[in-house]
Amino acid sequence: MSFEKPTQWFTAHAVAEAIQMPRACFADEMLRETEPAFDRLGMPLVTSGQFAYVFKLKLPHGAGTFAARAFRNYSPDRARRYELIDEHLRAHPVPALGTFDYDAEGMAINGRLYPVLVMPWIEGHTLDVYLSEVFKRGRESCEVVKNLADDWLRVMNDLREAGIAHGDLQHGNIIVEAGHVRLVDLDGMFVPAMRGMKASEVGHQHFQHPRRDATFFDNRLDRFSSLVIYLSLLALAEKPELWATYHDENLLFTRADFLSPDASPLFADVTAIGGECARLAAELKDAARGAPEEVSDVLATESVPMKSKLPAWMNTGVDMEVRPRTREASRIDVPVQVLVRDEATMRVLTTAGVRQVPVTPSSQNVQSVFSGTATTQSVWSGNPAPPDPFAAPLDRAQLYPATWFYAKRIFCDGSGWILLFGFQGFWRIFEYLLAVSFPVAMLLTLMLFTVIYLLAGYRRAYKNLASPPTLALNAPSLSLTSSSVISSSGALSQANHNSTHLVGSRTQGIYHQATCEWAGKIAPRNRVPFNSSLAAQDAGFRECKVCHP
C-alpha cells in the first residue's frame, strides 16, 4: 500500500466498507481492536461534514469509545498544522478541546493509506440539537441557557489565555456535555507557531464576519463568532420564542443580518430586549460594518464567571436531561456460534462478542428488514397478502404471470423499498432530470421504479423454475472452517454442513430456513448458521415470520 495525494478522495460508502474490518483498516493497534457503531440498517454510523466523515468506534467491554475522522480531501499542510496544534496544546491545555491523535497514514481504504484523526468520543449533543430540546420545556429553560452563556465565556477566556483561536465556531462544532461546552473540529485552528500562514478554511457563513478571508489568520480569529454565539444565547435566555422564529441552519443570526444590520428584523428584536442584549447588538452591528481585524473582544467588556474550585466530578453545569437523538442501533450480548475468517484476520466470536440489533419498532404490516416481527401484509391497505399460487419448481409457462405476481407482492409488502433506496445512482439521476423538467423526471422515475420491481419479481419467479438450491455457507468474506461451531462452554465441536439448516442475520436479529428467500438476502459477512431453532433463540435471534423455521 502507498500513501497517495489524489485530488478527489473516497466516498462515505468506501470508508464505511473499510471501517467494518478494523484490523485491516487501521494501523494503530488499539484501533484494530475496536468495532464501529452501526446504524439501524447495519451500516457503520457516520456523520458527514464539509471536510470529513466521522465514525464512532468502540473498544470491547466498554473500555473506551472514540471518534475517527476520515478527511474528504487532500491538504498539503494538514499534517504540519496538526503537529503544531498538538505541540501547543500539550504546553497550554484547554479542557474544552480535549486530546487527539493524528496519523498521516493511519487508515487503509481500497489499498491506499490516508490520514485519520482520532479523539475520545464526546457523549453530548451539538448546540442546536441541545437548545431545540431545552426549549421544549418552556420557561424553565431560561436558567439553563444563561448558565450555558456563562460557560461559553469561560471557554473563550481559556482560548484567549492559551493564545489560540478555534477558527470555525458554530453550532455543529459545539457539543454540550453535562451542561458544559466542548469544542470539536480543529482543522481551522490557529496557534502562535502558525503566524504568517493562511487559514485552511473560513468557517460557517452564519457565524463569521462577512468580509473574512483566508489571509486573516491570527489569535483574533474567533472574536466575531464568539460575540455572535454569546449574544444569541443571552437573547434566547431572555426571549426563547426567538428560536422558533429565526433558527434554521444557524442559531439566530445569518450572513444577511451581518450584511444589512440596519434592515435586519432580528437585530431590531434583540435590541428591543434592552439591557445587555441591546448593548451587545449595537457592538455586533459595528463589528459587521468594519473589518474583521477590528472586532473588539467580547471578554473586554464582559466579566468572566469564576471557575468552581470543586473537583471536576463535582463541578457539573446547570443541565437539563435531553432525550438522545441517534441513529445508532442498540447492542445485546449473544453467544455467536461460528468461526469467522475475513480478509484481515481469523477471529472467534465468543460469548464476549456483541451483535448489532436495530431498535426500530416492529411493524404489524410487513416482514420488516429492521425488526423481523411482522406478517406479510400490504403496507398500503393492511390486508393480508394473497397466498402464493406458484409453487416450486415452477412451470416455465407460468414464468411471466409469476413475475407480475411477485412484483406486485414486493411492492405491497414493502420489501422492495431496499431495492429503491439501495440504488445509489438513482438520486443523482433524479436530481439531474429534475433540473431539466419536472414532468419528465417524474415519468422516468415511475418507469425506473416499475422496471426495478419487475426485475425483482422476475428474479424471484426464475428461482422457482428449479428446486431451491443448497445454501453455500463458504464465502470470500465469511468462510466456515470445517463447519466448526462453538459449544456453550466455548470448545470447538465439528458439525456436518447438512445439519446447519438455519441461517441468522447478525444485523437484523432474525433466523431463517436456509431455503427462505430472506436468507438469500443476508450479506455473507452477516450470516450466522444454527443447527436448531432452540440454538438460534438462545443466541437472541427471532424467527422469520415468512418461512417459520
Q: What are the pLDDT digits (tens) for 8-24? A: 467 778 888 888 888 88
Q: Which long-range contacts (CB under 8 A, 24 or more apart) does 405-411 make?
A: 405/457, 405/461, 406/456, 406/457, 406/458, 406/460, 406/461, 407/453, 407/454, 407/456, 407/457, 407/458, 408/457, 409/376, 409/385, 409/457, 410/453, 410/456, 410/457, 410/460, 411/453
**What pLDDT score does 444 carry?**
78
CATH of range 2-120; options 3.30.60, 1.20.120, 3.10.20, 3.30.200: 3.30.200
**What pLDDT score does 330 carry?**
58
**What pLDDT score does 428 carry?**
63
Query: What is the block-wise mean pLDDT of the chain (549 residues), using blocks of 10 residues?
Result: 49 83 89 88 81 90 87 89 94 90 90 91 90 83 90 95 95 91 93 94 94 94 96 94 92 95 95 95 95 92 67 50 63 38 33 36 34 39 57 68 78 55 56 71 78 80 57 34 33 35 78 82 76 81 82
CB 232 within 8 A of CB 253: yes
The structural domains of the chain, with segments of one domain joined by +, span 2-120, 125-300, 330-543
CB 148 within 8 A of CB 176: yes
Instruction: Give yes or no for a cis peptide into 36 (omega within 30° of 0).
Output: no
**What pLDDT score does 271 carry?**
96
How far does CA 467 lie from the centroid of its chain? 42
Hey, do 2-120 and 125-300 end up sharing a CATH topology, with the first three levels equal?
no
Cα separation, 151 vs 154, in Å, equals 5
**What pLDDT score does 507 carry?**
65
CB 40 within 8 A of CB 151: no
SS3 of residue 377 by DSSP: strand
Kind plus residue range of the DSSP H or E element containing 67: strand 65-71
Which cell numbers hold the place of 518? Answer: 430472506
Residue listed under C-alpha cell 460575540: 227
**What pLDDT score does 545 carry?**
79
125-300 is a CATH 1.10.10.10 domain? no
